[in-house]
Amino acid sequence: MEPIIFAVIVVSAIGRISGLGLAIASKVMAVPVDEKAERIQEILPGANCGACGFSGCSGYASALSKGETTNTALCNPGGNEVSKLIAGIMGLDAGEVKPSAAVVLCQGNNRNASKKLNYSGVLSCKMANQLFGGPKDCIYGCIGFGDCVEVCPYNAIHICNGVARINPINCRACKKCINVCPKHIIELMPLYEVKAAVLCANKDKGALTRGECMAGCIGCMRCVKACESGAITVTNFCAKIDYDKCTGCGKCSEVCTMKCINIIDLNKIVSKVI
Amino acid sequence: MKIYISILLTAILTENFVLSKFLGICPFLGVSKKLNTAVGMSTAVIFVMALSTAVTYPINKYILKTDYAYLQTIVFILVIAALVQLVEITLKKFIPALYNALGIYLPLITTNCAVLGVVLLNITKELNFAQSMFNAVGGGLGFMVAMVMFSGVRERLESCDIPKSLQGLPIVLIAASLVSVSFLGFTGLVDGMFG
């Protein structure tokens, strides 16, 4: 037999065998693809933030398509729009996503808060927190090294004068910063509603707090007395506002001795820019 | 036993596929940006290298022999590509966890030159089957070492102040060449140990 013919036979035979093998294998071992899950995953923002409580966007999509959850409103970054689209695919009622944005509960910037040490280690809140609770006198407040800035997928957080500030326009309420903050002082606040917020988390006694920060809550109870809707409670010398009860009247802010209660109107900020 | 260790060390250090043979540069530059993708890719490379060696060795020995050695390249590409596709389908069906980990990387390396390189070099070096397997796994491990090291270098590069004209691929190529030069230091190591 001529060598060239043998070569042709060998190559074409191997090609045919492997082609046939692949064709059979793809029939025999075909995995049924969940079409609904794929379509939902295309709609979801793809930030894989985990705000929904599932392992990323694909986890939420497959949970929805398998009927493990019927709540279409779990995706904070996607908001109402995504909720409606998912509901359309699944034939469910669209849940209402309450638009919200994260807020850092601290005003201890370089002017207000005094320092107890000059930190020169790794610039990370998590690291600094292990060394006497950070460089500031107040061990409850924002350290300002920007762990939250690093983790924010939407570039919404910046360090302003030593304190993290969140831009409500960019914030998608994915809760990544809330989980990473070693001081646990970031929380979600309703967007498009006027609410009062205590921008302090200091749980020391009043006199101590005064020494640590010029804008710290001393637990003087004046806001509690001024509030007409009973939304404010003081525990551990720090006021806390129930956003469901708060009407945003602003009386607490007027009487606050330390000026640490702010009326937050995220809507105003958002509409001003847009 | 000695020869297997020497083959393994040679493949990892002195004759590293990426850093001294300059094979598989495409995935080396493409997926070394982050550590976890680098590890995923290298695991897939080890897997595919071992698998393709196991399959191409008998083909070469019993079908092609020496008369048809010129068919090696085309036949091996054909076989490796088909085989990796088959493995991908099988993994998807039976081991979805492994498929999720390696899935995206497997098709990327089906026709990669490092994979083809390792099977062709096994033949040129006239290794037997067990030695070929060691060479293949060693080559894959060497690829992993290079990838993991280089992903560390690249993560550092991210935070460096790089001149504008060198930003992006140019500085990555320069860094790769420096890492490659450092691997020249291993020359003669294995010979010295076992020679």
CB-CB under 8 Å, B74 with A11 = yes
- Name the A residues in 21-60 with CB < 8 Å from any B CB: 21-22, 25-26, 29-31
pLDDT at A88: 82
CB-CB under 8 Å, B86 with A25 = yes
Q: How far apart are CA A144 and CA A150, in angstroms?
A: 12
Is the pLDDT score of B15 beyond 70? yes
Q: What does pLDDT average to over chain A? A: 85
Residues of chain B with Cβ-Cβ distance to A25 below 8 Å are 86, 89-90
* B78 interfacial to chain A (CB closer than 8 Å): yes
- Shortest CA gap B108–chain A (Å): 18
pLDDT at B43: 85
Record the pTM.
0.58
- Provide the Cα torsion B37, B40, B46, B51; round to 10°: -130
Please write the tens of the pLDDT for every residue from A27-59: 887 777 777 788 888 888 877 777 777 877 888
What are the residue boundaries of the structural domains of chain A, listed by start? 35-90, 100-268
Residues in chain B: 195
pLDDT band at B138 (very low <50, low <70, confident <90, very high): very high
* A117 interfacial to chain B (CB closer than 8 Å): no
How many other C-beta atoms can be found within 10 angstroms of the C-beta atom of residue B71? 20
Q: How many CB pairs under 8 A join A and B?
A: 43
Tokens of A150: 């690093």
Q: Is B70 left (phi over 0), alpha (psi -120 to 50) or beta?
A: alpha
Please write the tens of the pLDDT for every residue from B40-89: 888 888 988 998 999 999 988 888 887 888 888 888 988 888 888 888 88
DSSP, res B50: H
Cross-chain CB nearest to B78 (options A6, A7, A14): A14
Measure Cα distances from A15 to A1, A9, B54, B79, B90 in Å: 21, 10, 18, 8, 20
* B104 interfacial to chain A (CB closer than 8 Å): no
Residues of chain A with Cβ-Cβ distance to B82 below 8 Å are 18-19, 21-22
Among candidate residues A171, A188, A162, the one with its CA nearest the CA of residue A106: A162
Residues of chain B with Cβ-Cβ distance to A29 below 8 Å are 89-90, 92-94
- Name the B residues in 35-64 with CB < 8 Å from any A CB: 59, 63-64
pLDDT at B107: 77
First to last CA, chain B: 14
The secondary structure of chain A as a DSSP string is --HHHHHHHHHHHHHHHHHHHHHHHHHHTPPPP-HHHHHHHHHS------TTSSSHHHHHHHHHHTTS---TT--TTTHHHHHHHHHHHHT-PPPPP--EEEEE-----TTTB-BS----S-S-HHHHHHTTTSSBS-SSS---S-HHHHH-TT--EEEETTEEEE-TTT-----HHHHH-TT--EEEEETTSEEEEE-----S-HHHHHHHBTT------HHHHH-SS--EEEETTEEEE-TTT-----HHHHH-SSS-EEEEEHHHHHHHH-
Please write the tens of the pLDDT for every residue from A171-187: 888 888 998 999 999 98
Residue at token pair 């083959």: B7
ipTM (interface predicted TM): 0.71
Q: If you average pLDDT over residues B112-140, what whole number do you get? A: 91
Quick one: closest CA in B to A24, which residue? Answer: B86
Residues in chain A: 274
pLDDT at A271: 64
Quick check: helix, strand or coil at residue B17?
coil
Cross-chain CB nearest to B89 (options A11, A19, A29): A29
Cross-chain CB nearest to B75 (options A11, A30, A31): A11
Tokens of B52: 């393709």
DSSP, res B21: S
A35-90: in CATH 2.30.29.30:
no
Is the pLDDT score of B140 beyond 90? yes
Quick check: helix, strand or coil at residue B119?
helix
* B155 interfacial to chain A (CB closer than 8 Å): no
Fold for the domain defined by A100-268: Alpha-Beta Plaits (3.30.70)
Low-confidence ranges of chain A (pLDDT < 50): none
Cross-chain CB nearest to A22 (options B63, B64, B82): B82
Q: How far apart are CA B134 and CA B6, in angstroms?
A: 10
* B166 interfacial to chain A (CB closer than 8 Å): no
Crossing angle of helices B169-183 and B129-158, in 10° steps, is 130
- Shortest CA gap B32–chain A (Å): 21
| Contact by Cβ (8 Å): A196, A246 | yes
Measure Cα distances from A24 to A15, A33, A200 in Å: 14, 18, 66
Which phi and psi (to 5°) does residue A210 adopt? Answer: -55, -35
Please write the tens of the pLDDT for every residue from B141-179: 999 999 999 999 988 888 888 898 988 889 999 999 999
- Shortest CA gap A19–chain B (Å): 7
Residue type, B79: V
